[in-house]
Structure 1
Amino acid sequence: MAYTLDLKTFTDKRGNLTVIEKVIPFEIKRVFYIYGVDDSIRGGHRHHKTIQAAICIQGSCTIYNNDSKTETKFELNQPNKCLVIEPQDWHTMYNFSKDAILMVFASEFFEAEDYIYKPYDK
C-alpha cells in the first residue's frame, strides 16, 4: 500500500531547504523526472519488484493507487511530501499543473520485464 513521508525541511528568511537523507526505504538505483505534461495520464502500471518514491518538487499532480484491496488518490503539491509506491501498487499520474515537476526515485534499474500493465480486476 502506498504511503506518504514528510521530508525534513529547514526554513528561514532565505527560503527552504528540504533534505532527502535516510528516509527513502530502499537503495536508490535510478532517478527520473516528469515535466511538461499535457492532460495525458502517465503510469498505468505496477511492478514485480521496483519500489518508487515520488516527490512533486514543483507544481502539483494527482497519483491514483490501487493495491488490489484499496484504491486511493494522493495529491502531491508540496515539495516536502514524498509518496512511496510499493511494487504491487498499480498507479496512474494525472492532473499535472503546467509547472509540475514530478521527481521519482526507483529501487531498480529499468527492466521492461518488471512492468505489469494490466490493472487489477474490479
Structure 2
Amino acid sequence: MDFRNYKLLNFSVMGDLRGNLVSLEENKNIPFCIKRVYYIYNTSDKERGFHAHTRLEQVAVVLSGECEFVLDSGKSREVIKLDTPSVGLYIGIGIWREMRNFSSNCVLMVLASEYYDENEYIRDYDEFLKFKGIK
C-alpha cells in the first residue's frame, strides 16, 4: 500500500472576459467513477475529518475561500492548503485526514468514488495504524 496516496490535481481552466469554467469528468481528470458529491460550508471555526477510508477515494475542491488538510500516511504528516477551484486534492485509500482553518466563505466540494457507507470509515487513529500495518 502506498504510504503517500494523495496528490494535487491541476484542472484546466477555460475562461475569457465572461469568467472561468472548470470541467470535472470521471476517469479523466477525476481518477475514478463518481458515485457521490457533497459539500461542506459554514465551518470557519470548526475542525472536521479525523478519519480514513478502507475503500473510498476522494477529490476535494475548494469552490470558494480556503482551508487546510492535514494528511497522515501513518509514517508522515503533511499540511496542504486549498485556496483555488482550479486545483483538487486527490486522497486515496488509507490516508488519515483532518480539515481545519476554514475561511468564513469556504465552500469545500468533495467527489467520492463510493456511496456513503459508515462501515468503511476508520475513526480511531490506532485502528488506522493497524489497517496500515504499522502497529
Shorter chain as denominator, the TM-score bin is over 0.9
Matched residue type, 2:15: T
Task: Tell me how many residue pairs correspond in the alignment.
Answer: 122
Secondary structure (helix, strand or coil) at the match of 1:8 reads: coil
Aligned to 1:88: 94
Structure 2 alignment gaps of length 5 or more: 130-134
TM-score (norm 1): 0.95
Match of 2:117 in 1: 111
Opposite residue 32 of structure 2, the aligned amino acid is F
Q: What corresponds to 2:10 in structure 1?
A: 6
* TM norm structure 2: 0.86
Distance in 2, matches of 1:70 and 1:7, equals: 27
CA shift, 1:118, in A, is 1.6
Q: Distance in 1 between matches of 2:44 and 2:23?
A: 29
Moved over 3 A (4+): none
The alignment yields a C-alpha RMSD, in angstroms, of: 1.4
Q: Which residue pairs with 2:132 in the alignment?
A: none
Q: How far did 1:103 drift?
A: 0.1
Secondary structure class of the residue paired with 1:4: strand
Structure 2: how far apart are the matches of 1:19 and 1:40?
30
Contact 2:44 2:106 in 1 (8 A): no
Alpha-carbon displacement from aligned partner over 1:3-25 (angstroms, at most 9, x marks no partner): 10001101211111111122111
**Is 1:53–1:84's contact at 8 Å kept on the other side of the alignment?**
yes
Give the aligned partner of residue 52 of structure 1. Answer: 58
Structure 1: distance between partners of 2:21 and 2:108: 17
User: SS of 1:55's equivalent?
Assistant: strand
CA contact (8 A) 1:8 1:20 kept: no
User: 1:99 deviation in Å?
Assistant: 0.4
Unmatched tracts of structure 1, length 5 or more: none
> What is the percent sequence identity of the aligned residues?
38
Q: CA deviation at 1:70?
A: 2.3
Paired letter, 1:7: F
